[in-house]
């Protein structure tokens, strides 16, 4: 299976490779998405060009996209209803961009379309890295904090807990990210339970498997 990953940094991409293979239960071949993004909204802006590139110039099976939620509205079960779309939810937005982009493309390389796999890290990917190590960090804790108007931790605090600094070098960021995701290499259930924004990504991947 050939996949490309589009996320906010090269370090995220290295960690996501491990998590994607953990969900699928086998190694994958990873293609370069051709364009890099830096944070939101850059990911949403370059995604159509990345999809078109993968569709016409490669035989990639699918595209994995992961962004940080930051302070945006968190995707909930309510958003999964047919025709529902929340304009302040990044998962809803990215799914809409994906759908609108692939629907205009003719078949290419023997496939109708490339497959979609989207996750949103609440509030940032460092929260996923802390899963199983820091029990105070979870999507539920973040949502509860947002509702009370008092967030339980800042994104800078999460970076400190993972990297020991809020301005890590790329090499240090990659080392720390790989060390943390290694905990989930053989079992992603805890990560899925604590972070439904990861579970949507895992479900998209499993759905592909079922289609094969």
Binding site for Zn ion (CB under 5 A): 75, 79, 86, 89, 91-92
Residue number with CB closer to Zn ion (79 or 183) = 79
**H helix runs in the chain, sequence order:** 10-24, 42-57, 90-102, 125-130, 139-148, 155-163, 170-181, 189-194, 196-211
Strands 62-68 and 115-121: parallel
Residue 89 Cβ vs Zn ion, minimum distance, rounded to whole Å: 3
Cβ nearer to Zn ion, comparing 92 with 131: 92
Nearer to Zn ion by C-beta: 24 or 73? Answer: 73
Nearest distance in Å: CB 85, Zn ion = 8
Residue 71 beta carbon to Zn ion: minimum distance, rounded to whole angstroms = 15
In the three-class reduction of DSSP (H, G, I as helix; E, B as strand; rest coil), residue 109 is classed as coil
Q: Buried (b) or exposed (e) across 103-134, using 16+ Cβ within 10 A?
A: eeeeebeeeebbbbbbbbbbbbbbbbbbbeee
3-state secondary structure of 120: strand
Rounded least distance, CB 183 to Zn ion, Å:
28
Comparison of 78 and 110: residue with beta carbon closer to Zn ion:
78
CA distance 32 to 54: 9
> Which phi and psi (to 5°) does residue 115 adopt?
-85, 150
Q: Write down the least CB distance from residue 192 to Zn ion, Å.
A: 17
For Zn ion, the closer of residues 29 and 76 by Cβ is 76
Q: Cβ closer to Zn ion: 30 or 128? A: 128
- Shortest Cβ 91–Zn ion spacing (Å): 5
* Residues 174, 31: Cα–Cα separation, whole Å: 18
């Amino acid at each position: 299976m050939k996949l490309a990953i589009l996320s906010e940094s090269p370090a995220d991409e290295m960690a996501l490779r491990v998590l994607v293979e953990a969900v699928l239960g086998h190694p994958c071949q990873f293609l370069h998405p051709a364009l890099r993004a830096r944070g939101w909204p850059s990911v949403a802006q370059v995604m159509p060009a990345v999809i078109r590139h993968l569709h016409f110039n490669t035989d990639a099976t699918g595209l994995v996209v992961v962004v940080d939620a930051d302070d945006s509205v968190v995707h909930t079960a309510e958003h999964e209803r047919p025709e529902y779309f929340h304009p302040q939810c990044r998962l809803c937005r990215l799914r809409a961009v994906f759908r609108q982009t692939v629907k205009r493309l003719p078949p290419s390389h023997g496939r109708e379309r490339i497959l979609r796999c989207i996750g949103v890290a609440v509030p940032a990917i460092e929260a996923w890295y802390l899963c199983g190590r820091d029990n105070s960090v979870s999507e539920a804790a973040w949502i509860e904090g947002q509702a009370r108007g008092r967030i339980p931790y800042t994104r800078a605090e999460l970076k400190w807990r993972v990297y020991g600094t809020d301005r890590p070098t790329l090499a240090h960021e990659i080392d720390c990210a790989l060390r943390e995701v290694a905990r989930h290499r053989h079992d992603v259930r805890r990560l899925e339970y604590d972070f439904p924004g990861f579970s949507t990504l895992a479900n998209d991947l499993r759905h592909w498997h079922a289609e094969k």
